[in-house]
Structure 1
Amino acid sequence: MQNLALGRVALGAVAFAAPGLTGRLLGLGAGDGGRDYITRAFAARELALGGGYLLARGRARDLWARLGLAVDALDTVSGAKSRGAVPLWATAAAVAVSGGATALGAAKVGRDLVK
Structure 2
Amino acid sequence: MMIAILSDIFRDRELNGGAKAAWTAFIVLLPWLGALSYIFARGNSMNERTRQAGLDQQARVRALIQDAAGGGTSVSDELRELAELRDGGVITPTEYEQAKVKVLT
Q: Which has the higher contact order (CA 8 A, sep 6+)?
A: 1
Per the normalisation by structure 1, the TM-score is 0.37
Q: Which has the larger radius of gyration?
A: 2
Per the normalisation by structure 2, the TM-score is 0.40
